[in-house]
Amino acid sequence: MELAPASQPRTAPRFEDVFRAHAPYVWRCLRRLGVAQGDVDDVVQEVFLVVHRRLSEYDGRASLKAWIYGICIRKASDHRKLAHKKREQVTDTVPEDTSSADGPEASVEGRRALAKLDRALGELDEDKRAAFVLYEIEGLGVAEVAAAVGVPLQTAYSRLAAARKHVETALRAHEEGT
């Protein structure tokens, strides 16, 4: 069995392929990171401008999805800071396809559940929110979460645990209050 030399250069993925495969993911991530629906398309473009510019620097240590999420975090943060300076409110509810065969009642309940989750996520700081969204919603592993946000593995576990606790408490309090 012959092994390829370790010094063999890695070929960067084509931008067009990355965009096609990850644009819906980036849109969802930005919404979950608090970018308003009316602004999300612009921020998606900003994310992919960075991806285009830096794709050749992608080293493969983390998954491409995790690497892109790291860019999403920074762009969402920049957008929220700018919006805050303009005194805009950018944390409206996350729209999702909640249609189902169960009829309009299920759709309404689905939207209410998403609104509750979005409010709970909006109360988290950016670091904990990113850990929760990446792990619980996007399904990345904790190692990928750590790589995406640039922290040690144990820090990612800690942020995830704190975020879960807050979300559970917030959802429980909301249920008791209704």
Q: What structural domains does the chain harbor?
A: 10-92 (1.10.1740.10), 105-178 (1.10.10.10)
CA dihedral 102, 108, 110, 115 (to 10 degrees): 180
Q: What is the pTM of this model?
A: 0.66
Categorize the per-residue pLDDT at 90 as very low, low, confident or very high, splitting at 50, 70 and 90.
Answer: very low
**Quick check: 33 and 130 in contact, CB under 8 A?**
yes
- Side-chain-facing half-sphere of 83: CA atoms under 13 Å: 17
Q: How deeply is 101 buried, as exposed, middle or buried, from its count of CB atoms within 10 A (0-12, 13-18, 19+)?
A: exposed
116-172, pLDDT tens digit by residue? 888 888 888 888 988 998 898 888 899 988 988 889 999 999 999 999 999 999 888
Q: How many residues does the chain have?
A: 178
